[in-house]
Structure 1
Amino acid sequence: MPQPALADAAAAADVTEDVTAPIPRVAGRRAAGRLPVLGWWLFAALPAGLALLAAMRAPKMHVLLDYWHVFAKITNDNGDLLLGQVFTYHLDQPFVVPSLLFYADAAWFGGDNRALTVLTVVLLAIAVLALRTMLPEHPARGALTAAISWLLFSSHATELWVQGTNGISWVPAVTACTIAVACAHRGRLAGACAAAVVGCLCFGAALPIWFVVAFVAWLRGESRLRAAIPAAAGVAVLGAWWLTKPAGTQSGATAAFDPDSRLSVAAAAAGGLWSVDVAVVAVIVGALTIALLGLLLRRTITTRTAADAGWAGLALYAFALAAMLALGRTTANVPGGNVGLISRYVLVAALATIALTVLATLHRPQWPHRYVVAAVVTLALVTHAIGAGKADLVRRSYAPLSLSAIALRVDAPAALEALHIQRAARPAARALRAYPFTDTFTLGCHGPELGDHVALGTAQPVRGALDAPATDPGTVLTGWVAFDGAQPDCVLVTDPAGTVTGGGSAGLPLTAGQAAAPGATGWQATAGPTNGPLTVLAVRDGHLYRIG
């Protein structure tokens, strides 16, 4: 009897050992599984972090025409909001939400451009999360999430988080539309319609979203009524817009038939991630993207696959945006000759490429996981690297507009007109103490400011020149200056007594007509009312240098 008892005890010990031994290994696998997920989240957060850093380092001043045009329209001279004007069109499109955000920035955040650039990044991050909710459980889900983030936060789109005017004009509408698509993908019609309403109050980029929501509902096999409701709402919204929009074309767009140019713009918008300023490259890649999406959507429409519905809707929305650009913004008067290459419009290419990447992954489950991951990571990094050239173009194009803050502060009429800043917005900005009418305003000289006195007798000579005599203080004064291996901190403009009446910036690219010394950089300045001839000085390390 003892022997069987001992055998039973030994067997029990063996069973216990076999059951408990794997537990540490299972926990280890779970921990190891969490590490790749965390790694993908960190990789996805990287482009958003870069965009946020650029947004926080952006200039304080709003330098674009659209901001000051809208701000002047929706305020009176006391800085009060004219609510009725908020519901008028801008660029023949609804602009309610951006108008309110422009005013809130001026009234609550001192008119700081960075408040809107940071908000733009936050809204794009919400769009990334909304699109992630549509991803099914898939081995490549983390990689696809990272690809969505890298494509939406592409360096091509730098102007969206350098100037809040561009970001807040476009991104709220696009984010609302991605939320609408995500809600429709999950059968939440009420949420999709609510997001569509918000989008249509933001910008015309949201007008097609009603038909996209209807398309997604149809692909999901929902009832005819649930698909007909957003479609009918879309017809009503488009009809109301068409009957109330201002007549004529906007933004210098051509009104000619011109189907060739319009097709070129639509294709370039879909392929904008792959070119900086060579339109033909963007057109070819865009046409290929549209063709591949067409092939994938054919299968989705034929099989009515619910898992594909939202991504098919996203592709349709990207098509609609490209078509709207072609119909409403086609013009050759832009760098590169094609509107589709403009930085902010790269969101069209990003949405189309995201839809293509996800649909291709879902339609080809037999592809090895490692190949899918390698492909999407390469796609994200290569397009981001290409966009570095466009980001540089954006920064260089905005550099001459830095004079806007000084021109508005000193009230230089001719300079404001040249910079396309609405002078009518000045009283409201001053009443609200919006930048540049704040205590933080500076000429950037690390010393002299407007109204200060400088000793003109201490100014040293320097190689430099004015392009034209400095006679009218209200104009944009330009010229060049050359220091040995350095640039001046700023440019000052004074009256004959040495009182600072204006200023400007240096380190600008030389224009084609400037005959300058080797190593020279351009400068520009402006000044307020002055009695007597103007003196233009460069300031470097606290020392004054007379130009001209």
Structure 2
Amino acid sequence: MTAVEDQRTEVLRPVDRAPRAPRALLWLLVPIPVLLATAEAIRSPKMNFNDYWAILAKVTGDDGVLRPLALFKLYNEHPIALVGPVFWLDAKLFDAANQALGLFSVALVLVLFATLVSMLPARLTGNARVAVIACLSALLFSSSALEFFGMGMSGVHWLVGIVPAVLALRFAHRGNTAVAVVFGVIGCFGHGAAFPIWVSLAMMAWLRRDELWRFVLPIGFGVLTLALWLLPSRQPGYPSSTLVGVDTMLGTALAMLGQVWAARSTDVAFATGTLTAAVFAFVVFQALPKKGARPAQSTVDDSGWFALAFHVVLVAIMVGFSRSRLGTAEALGPRYAMVALLGACALLVLLVLRGPRLARHHVVPLALTVAVMTYAVGSAQATAVRENYPRQPMLAVAMRVDARAVIDSMNWSTKVLPVLRSMKAYPFSDDFTLGCGRYELGSLVDMSRVKELPGPSGVSRTAGAVETGPVVGNSKIAGWAVLDGEAADCVLVVDGSSEVVGGGAVDVPRADVASTTRGTGRGGWNAVARPGVEDGVVLVGSEDQLYRISLVIKAG
């Protein structure tokens, strides 16, 4: 190494000149985001979400047996060879529980976190190193990534591609190209987000000036991956609803890069995505060795982070090409958050290692500021994900009573119903409940003991209404009810013979009801009844008392 290169490496050594925080306190910050993500997975609905049912129906026969050949088909242009068996095992062993997949996503992100920590160079030491580790934890388990933990099917599908891809970068970073290729292959069977790994591995080999075979081998696997991806038959697509230009593709790609700091604002995402791409370009340009020269040792040490940043940019470009037909706002979807957060991880580490002097000399405040800001801004994404939770119990009832029109209207696959029945998975498992004490589907209700729940009058704190009358089977039934200002504990639908023929979800957000009744903002409910029910009656429960909602407003 030349004297110039030695001097450059020394200049790029991070130095923390801020007052030294107790290192133990910094270490205590590391597990907090992990625990919060775990809590979100546990409190999420038991009922799984849309893609889970479609993929499970694709890879499982009506008898509940896994269909191996179906694993090599595509779903929304993505492979399902890894996620298919995971979903099948979830149905077989855990009653198709969403929480199990959410917790598995937490475990996969822990692997991702450990992988990134192992890629930090040795010259990052002391409090600066611990602060960066704490920030990596906050980024990977950010509120922006709540869909990965609260809607486990989404997290698992993306992560079985992303995690092996990052592991591939880690092993290539350590010079083990053969193992990197193995993980690259695994990732490409998991999700399309892993497809650019071959270009990223080749880029790393070129930047490090490795042997030629370390560059050529990934390129060969990349060509093979593309060929295999083109093999499965596809249904013809529909024309785009908008006229797409280069600007649309560019905007979609940049918005995806910057979404985690955008608070669901497309304009802000354009700006933050552009800044992220600009910083990546700056640090890579600074690291390029002169023609014929060997790269500095710091460049070799940081090559995994350059490759990670490059991989994230390539995924963003893929999203720009494939999803821009849906509009640039599509890039703000929470399903893309983990890729954007990996970009944020690479951005932080490269700034700390190779950025301006201000960043390298104030690592602790920089890392903690990025961690807190990203977690706080992600609240908008997290709120959008949580808004999907209340309808899940109604979907469970719809499946149980075979209300196929309702299932179809919610964009869920009815093809999975015989699969779930044969596997006795939720909602066809023994632990299915309407949440109304002793009242379950088929129970008889003593209507003489049911109290009337009046419609709204003045500022009554005990009132309710059915807003989609008349109450009939195989259709969505919606309304609201507050009991002494509180939400009901459960909702039931009974027919003319007082038999329980349906149920649904309570605690549905209704801000308008809160302002009218001065009660809870979660007084809404949704319900469904079995096909064939006419002139049903909606009951809501609180503790051991049932109430009949007397006000039925005709739908429309």
Question: When the two structures are superposed, what TM-score results if normalisation uses the length of structure 2?
Answer: 0.86
C-alpha distance in 2, partners of 1:215/1:489? 57
Structure 1 residue 94, shift from structure 2 partner? 1.1
Structure 1 residue 529, shift from structure 2 partner? 4.1
In the comparison of the two structures, how many residue pairs are matched? 509
C-alpha distance in 1, partners of 2:59/2:326? 31
For 2:481, the aligned partner's letter is V
Q: Where does residue 446 of structure 1 map in the other structure? A: 437
Structure 1 residue 510, shift from structure 2 partner? 4.2
Structure 1 residue 367, shift from structure 2 partner? 5.1
Q: State whether structure 2 residue 98 is matched by structure 1 residue 96.
A: no
Instruction: Please say if residues 66 and 165 of structure 1, whose CA atoms lie closer than 8 Å, have aligned partners that are also in contact.
Output: yes
- The structure 2 residue matched to 1:169, chosen from 131, 151, 157, is 157
C-alpha distance in 2, partners of 1:471/1:143? 57
Q: State whether structure 2 residue 315 is matched by structure 1 residue 313.
A: no
| Structure 2 segments unaligned to the other structure (5+ residues) | 1-20, 456-463, 552-556
For 1:222, the aligned partner's letter is D
C-alpha distance in 1, partners of 2:502/2:56? 24
C-alpha distance in 2, partners of 1:504/1:330? 36
C-alpha distance in 2, partners of 1:437/1:539? 23
For 1:481, the aligned partner's letter is A
- The structure 1 residue matched to 2:322, chosen from 325, 328, 338, is 328
Task: Give 3-state SS (helix, strand or coil) of 1:330's partner.
Answer: helix
Task: Give 3-state SS (helix, strand or coil) of 1:461's partner.
Answer: strand
C-alpha distance in 2, partners of 1:99/1:534? 40
Instruction: Please say if residues 144 and 260 of structure 2, whose CA atoms lie closer than 8 Å, have aligned partners that are also in contact.
Output: yes
Instruction: Please say if residues 180 and 191 of structure 1, whose CA atoms lie closer than 8 Å, have aligned partners that are also in contact.
Output: yes
- The structure 2 residue matched to 1:179, chosen from 151, 157, 167, is 167
Instruction: Please say if residues 414 and 476 of structure 1, whose CA atoms lie closer than 8 Å, have aligned partners that are also in contact.
Output: no
For 1:65, the aligned partner's letter is N
Structure 1 residue 467, shift from structure 2 partner? 2.4
C-alpha distance in 2, partners of 1:40/1:196? 34
For 1:57, the aligned partner's letter is R
Instruction: Please say if residues 502 and 528 of structure 2, whose CA atoms lie closer than 8 Å, have aligned partners that are also in contact.
Output: yes
Q: What does 1:365-380 align with in structure 2 at a 5 Å threshold?
A: 371-380=362-371
For 1:48, the aligned partner's letter is V
Shift in CA distance, 411/368, structure 1 to aligned 2, threshold 3 Å? closer
For 2:483, the aligned partner's letter is F
C-alpha distance in 1, partners of 2:186/2:154? 18
Instruction: Please say if residues 493 and 535 of structure 1, whose CA atoms lie closer than 8 Å, have aligned partners that are also in contact.
Output: yes
Instruction: Please say if residues 493 and 503 of structure 1, whose CA atoms lie closer than 8 Å, have aligned partners that are also in contact.
Output: yes
Shift in CA distance, 274/365, structure 1 to aligned 2, threshold 3 Å? closer
C-alpha distance in 2, partners of 1:474/1:511? 27
Q: Where does residue 29 of structure 2 map in the other structure? A: 43
Q: Where does residue 270 of structure 2 map in the other structure? A: 283
C-alpha distance in 1, partners of 2:245/2:389? 31
Q: State whether structure 2 residue 62 is matched by structure 1 residue 71.
A: no
Q: Where does residue 5 of structure 1 map in the other structure? A: none
Structure 1 residue 195, shift from structure 2 partner? 0.8
- The structure 2 residue matched to 1:356, chosen from 347, 359, 367, is 347
Instruction: Please say if residues 485 and 518 of structure 2, whose CA atoms lie closer than 8 Å, have aligned partners that are also in contact.
Output: no
Shift in CA distance, 135/531, structure 1 to aligned 2, threshold 3 Å? closer
What RMSD over aligned residues (CA atoms) do the two structures have, in Å? 2.4
Q: Where does residue 26 of structure 1 map in the other structure? A: none
C-alpha distance in 2, partners of 1:253/1:329? 10
Q: What does 1:327-476 align with in structure 2 at a 5 Å threshold?
A: 327-332=321-326, 338-364=329-355, 371-462=362-453, 463=455, 464-476=464-476
Instruction: Please say if residues 408 and 416 of structure 1, whose CA atoms lie closer than 8 Å, have aligned partners that are also in contact.
Output: yes
Q: Where does residue 179 of structure 2 map in the other structure? A: 191
Q: State whether structure 2 residue 524 is matched by structure 1 residue 522.
A: yes
Q: Where does residue 3 of structure 1 map in the other structure? A: none
Task: Give 3-state SS (helix, strand or coil) of 1:76's partner.
Answer: coil
Shift in CA distance, 235/492, structure 1 to aligned 2, threshold 3 Å? same
- The structure 2 residue matched to 1:83, chosen from 65, 68, 92, is 68
C-alpha distance in 2, partners of 1:219/1:343? 32
Shift in CA distance, 513/325, structure 1 to aligned 2, threshold 3 Å? farther
C-alpha distance in 2, partners of 1:149/1:409? 40
C-alpha distance in 2, partners of 1:534/1:515? 29
Structure 1 residue 516, shift from structure 2 partner? 7.4
C-alpha distance in 1, partners of 2:479/2:201? 55
Shift in CA distance, 406/307, structure 1 to aligned 2, threshold 3 Å? same
Structure 1 residue 398, shift from structure 2 partner? 3.1
Q: Where does residue 54 of structure 1 map in the other structure? A: 40
Shift in CA distance, 93/245, structure 1 to aligned 2, threshold 3 Å? farther
C-alpha distance in 2, partners of 1:542/1:362? 62
Give CA-to-partner distance per residue, 1:482-516, whole Å, 9 cap, x none: 43311101110012121111101223234999997
Instruction: Please say if residues 340 and 346 of structure 1, whose CA atoms lie closer than 8 Å, have aligned partners that are also in contact.
Output: no
C-alpha distance in 2, partners of 1:141/1:170? 28
Identity %: 34
Shift in CA distance, 357/493, structure 1 to aligned 2, threshold 3 Å? same
C-alpha distance in 2, partners of 1:368/1:421? 48
Instruction: Please say if residues 105 and 115 of structure 1, whose CA atoms lie closer than 8 Å, have aligned partners that are also in contact.
Output: yes
Instruction: Please say if residues 467 and 478 of structure 2, whose CA atoms lie closer than 8 Å, have aligned partners that are also in contact.
Output: yes
Q: Where does residue 118 of structure 2 map in the other structure? A: 133
Give CA-to-partner distance per residue, 1:119-144, whole Å, 9 cap, x none: 00110110111111111121222211
Q: Where does residue 160 of structure 1 map in the other structure? A: 148
Structure 1 residue 530, shift from structure 2 partner? 5.1
Structure 1 residue 332, shift from structure 2 partner? 4.6
Structure 1 residue 228, shift from structure 2 partner? 0.6
Instruction: Please say if residues 318 and 351 of structure 1, whose CA atoms lie closer than 8 Å, have aligned partners that are also in contact.
Output: yes
The more displaced of 36-45 and 114-123 is: 36-45
Structure 1 residue 480, shift from structure 2 partner? 2.5
The more displaced of 85-94 and 502-511 is: 502-511
Structure 1 residue 544, shift from structure 2 partner? 1.1
Task: Give 3-state SS (helix, strand or coil) of 1:536's partner.
Answer: strand
Give CA-to-partner distance per residue, 1:370-399, whole Å, 9 cap, x none: 611110111011110111232122111332
Q: State whether structure 2 residue 543 is matched by structure 1 residue 541.
A: yes
Q: State whether structure 2 residue 224 is matched by structure 1 residue 236.
A: yes
C-alpha distance in 2, partners of 1:185/1:414? 53
For 1:358, the aligned partner's letter is V
Q: State whether structure 2 residue 251 is matched by structure 1 residue 264.
A: yes
C-alpha distance in 1, partners of 2:423/2:417? 10
For 1:496, the aligned partner's letter is G
Question: When the two structures are superposed, what TM-score results if normalisation uses the length of structure 1?
Answer: 0.88
Q: Where does residue 460 of structure 2 map in the other structure? A: none
Instruction: Please say if residues 45 and 149 of structure 1, whose CA atoms lie closer than 8 Å, have aligned partners that are also in contact.
Output: yes
C-alpha distance in 1, partners of 2:506/2:59? 34
Structure 1 residue 248, shift from structure 2 partner? 4.2
Shift in CA distance, 37/191, structure 1 to aligned 2, threshold 3 Å? farther
Shift in CA distance, 277/369, structure 1 to aligned 2, threshold 3 Å? closer
Task: Give 3-state SS (helix, strand or coil) of 2:362's partner.
Answer: helix
Shift in CA distance, 538/119, structure 1 to aligned 2, threshold 3 Å? same
For 2:221, the aligned partner's letter is A
Larger Rg, first or second structure (1 or 2): 1
Task: Give 3-state SS (helix, strand or coil) of 2:346's partner.
Answer: helix
| Structure 1 segments unaligned to the other structure (5+ residues) | 1-34
Give CA-to-partner distance per residue, 1:439-461, whole Å, 9 cap, x none: 21111223311121111122222
Q: Where does residue 10 of structure 2 map in the other structure? A: none
Q: Where does residue 11 of structure 2 map in the other structure? A: none
Structure 1 residue 231, shift from structure 2 partner? 1.1
Instruction: Please say if residues 474 and 529 of structure 1, whose CA atoms lie closer than 8 Å, have aligned partners that are also in contact.
Output: yes
